[in-house]
Structure 1
């Protein structure tokens, strides 16, 4: 029997791959028998012979379009496929989506980008794997891995080997994963301006151990403090009665960083913000002069805590 099928899968790469696997199984297609093309292999010349069934009834291909810009000829070949053509097209712009939907189907998977979205995927996914993650453990994995869903899935596979009945709380999961929570530069500044240098240094240490480049980190501090300084001005002008939404609108910035900046700004006044900006400028100069990056940033956090 001739199988003519074009199916494309979009969304987060990990979820699109899972969707492809499940779809192939549902349709009785053995993925191991399909040739997989990716990168420079994806050309009309390499694709055409795979889109027609062989004399023995085989044929078929998995095409990964990551980093590939398929031209009109290639898309026309896919549209006319005479054998299974399973396409991983994580972005699937409207022009290509129309081709998939006109000549086959497009299966759209989620593409979680925010921590809440990752958690929304993680908890039910873990449950399907037979793992009852506690809330703090799920938050830990989302914090450490972010949108690296493949990394999260790999750690969940490790957790399956724990003795039955093991409580999957954050402490247990962190012991298995062996990675520290990522630092938060806004949390670092919040702790410093609250007069809590130990907590500020702890956040700084996490950021540096996580591979954050000191120059980029100081650049983030400069940007964040420029936003904080503008929030200080808004608070002074409004008598301290500016809302997060109004501040974001007036500053032309996104609500989340403005919310964080306002929390820090409420502890400062114009005189203190000027002193802090001078200290940040001094740290920037020290880094450019070749001073030890970690020590320079540590000293800065202590100075901002005074």
Structure 2
């Protein structure tokens, strides 16, 4: 297959990485931060490959053991000759603990089996990456960028996806200018964009057309807009404002598990920018704050705002954001899984950035 197949090629064109006549490989890796794109890409690929999603055995990568996944893939059925499919969600830990076994399996997967790994990241300089590059499919499920070295989202590609996805999944006829309106209001989050397109489909006329005014009035619920405002308040150090807005959101019935990922996505960009600057200092390159935030998903007028917010936080504190977000994620999946304790953990993060 062509290496680095981006998920948009599958989702927009209904085209498998190996071509229209290619069968499914033994291993597929869908990697990238966008969980929505990972899920949609795999569902689409399985559908195009003729695999019934009900036949897929799913595993939690944080808890499952490789021996169980291996047995599922290697055990032949006496009554069914269809693909044996094992899908491992959040497979980063499974990969870390069983890299040699996965390398061996990927190089010579059992006939009729399909292993699907859903990963947050997958470095291209690893042996496993190179093995799967030759024998399986690698599907990049991150936001599209203008080049392999760039970390800034390609807004043009995102707008084309909004138009195509609106037509394919929501029966909407959007113009490029309307895609810009939607992207500006929601931000570069394909899961949220999908939800907003589904909502906008309810307002389309008989010809599946929307006016610009309808889009301005209805795109982005007050909750969606509030998430951006809360993230901005936290980044500005206006903790009282952030906590007050969070209280309103939770009082309206929003679950913390739905709020935290949106806020985390926004704050994570500051942590990434801080690490880029610190790394550049160690290598003697001295990357500017403006360049760093540009590499980490800010664009337009937000670049100057983000640079100022990063300066207010300070590199030392901003560099801890990724660790704090990881701690928050682990807490809400474990010790703080109840709504009340999850809210407490989020408030604690706000105080850390005060």
Normalising by structure 1, report the TM-score: 0.55
Map 1:197-208 → 2, pairs under 5 A: none
Counterpart for residue 64 of structure 1: 89
Root-mean-square deviation (CA, aligned residues, Å) is: 4.0
Q: Tell me, yes or no, if structure 1 residue 81 matches structure 2 residue 133.
A: no
Counterpart for residue 69 of structure 2: 47
Map 1:271-286 → 2, pairs under 5 A: none
Q: For residues 168 and 181 of structure 1, what CA distance do their matches in structure 2 show?
A: 22
**SS of residue matched to 1:61:** strand
Counterpart for residue 213 of structure 2: 171
Alignment coverage as a number of residue pairs: 211
Q: For residues 216 and 263 of structure 1, what CA distance do their matches in structure 2 show?
A: 13
Counterpart for residue 118 of structure 1: 158
- 5+ residue gaps, structure 1: 183-205, 220-248, 265-306
Whether the 8 Å contact between 1:60 and 1:85 is mirrored in structure 2 is: yes
Counterpart for residue 153 of structure 1: 194
Segments of 4+ in structure 1 off by > 4 A?
Answer: 206-209, 255-264
Aligned equivalent of 1:100, options 132, 135, 138? 132
Normalising by structure 2, report the TM-score: 0.48
Deviations 1:185-210 (A, max 9, x none): xxxxxxxxxxxxxxxxxxxxx77982
Q: Tell me, yes or no, if structure 1 residue 212 matches structure 2 residue 212.
A: no
Moved more, 92-101 or 107-116: 107-116
Q: For residues 141 and 44 of structure 2, what CA distance do their matches in structure 1 show?
A: 12
**SS of residue matched to 2:166:** helix
Whether the 8 Å contact between 2:185 and 2:220 is mirrored in structure 1 is: no
**SS of residue matched to 2:28:** strand
Q: For residues 123 and 158 of structure 1, what CA distance do their matches in structure 2 show?
A: 15
C-alpha deviation, 1:72, in angstroms: 2.0
Whether the 8 Å contact between 1:115 and 1:142 is mirrored in structure 2 is: no
- 5+ residue gaps, structure 2: 1-23, 145-151, 239-284, 306-354
Bigger Cα Rg: 1
